[in-house]
Amino acid sequence: MRPSAPAPRPELSGIPAYVPKPPRPPAAGPSHRLFLNENPYPPLPSVREVIAEASAATNRYPGIFPERLIDALSGKLGVPHSHVITGPGSVGIYQQIGQAMLKPGDEVVYAWPSFEAFPIVVRMAGAIPVEVPLTGHTHDLDAMAAAITPRTSAVLLCEPNNPTGTAVGAMRLKRFLDQVPSDVLVVLDEAYFEFYRSSDAPDGMALYRDRPNLLVLRTFSKAYGLAGLRVGYGVAHPEIAEALRKCAVPCGVSSIAEEAALHSLDAEAELFARVERITAERERVRAALAAPGREVPASETNFLWLPLGQDTERVTSELERHGVLTRAFPGDGARVTVGEPAANDLLIEVAEQLIRGR
Ligand code: PMP
* Residue at a domain's end among 248, 266, 284: 266
Share of the chain above pLDDT 90, in %: 90
Residue 9 lies in a domain: no
Q: What is the mean pLDDT of the chain?
A: 95
Q: Kindly state whether residues 88 and 194 are assigned to the same domain.
A: yes
Q: Is residue 7 part of a domain?
A: no
CB-based pocket (< 6 A), ligand 1: 37, 89-91, 115, 158, 162, 189, 191, 219, 221, 227, 232
29, 51: one domain: no
Residues 180 and 315 grouped into a single domain:
no
Residue 5 inside a domain? The answer is no
Q: How far does Cα 184 stand from its chain's mean position?
A: 21
Site to probe by mutation for ligand 1, drawn from 18, 38, 86, 91 as the one with most ligand atoms within 8 Å of Cβ, is 91
Closest residue (by CA) to atom 13 of ligand 1? 89
Give the pLDDT of residue 26. Answer: 86
Whether 134 and 218 share a structural domain: yes
- Residue 41 CA to ligand 1 centre (angstroms): 17
Q: Considering the domain boundaries, does residue 10 fall inside one?
A: no
Each residue of 65-116: pLDDT tens digit?
999 999 999 999 999 999 999 999 999 999 999 999 999 999 999 999 999 9
The domain that contains 110 carries what CATH number? 3.40.640.10
Residue 205 sits in the same domain as residue 136: yes
Per-residue pLDDT of 299-330, as tens digits, reads 999 999 999 999 999 999 999 999 999 999 99
**Does 28 have pLDDT greater than 90?**
no
Query: What stretch of H or E contains 355?
Result: helix 341-356
Count: domains in the chain: 2
Q: Both 279 and 238 in a single domain? A: no
Report, as an integer, the average pLDDT of 210-230.
98
**DSSP strand pairing (232-235 vs 185-189):** unpaired
Q: What is the CATH number of the domain that holds 274?
A: 3.90.1150.10
Protein residue with least CA distance to atom 1, ligand 1: 191
The pLDDT tens digits of the residues spanning 128-147 come to 999 999 999 999 999 999 99
Q: DSSP string of 238-267?
A: HHHHHHHHHTSPTT-S-HHHHHHHHHHHHT
Q: Quick one: CA torsion of 337, 321, 28, 344, rounded to 10 degrees?
A: -30
Is 250 in the same domain as 293?
no
pLDDT, tens digit, 9 for 90 and up, residues 146-157: 999 999 999 999
Give residue 173's domain range: 45-266
Q: What is the pLDDT of residues 252-276, one digit of tens each?
A: 999 999 999 999 999 999 999 999 9
pTM above 0.95, yes or no: yes
- Residue located nearest, by CA, to atom 12 of ligand 1: 90
Q: Residue 6: inside a domain, yes or no?
A: no
Last residue of a domain, one of 266, 287, 317: 266
Which of 251, 266, 281 terminates a domain? The answer is: 266
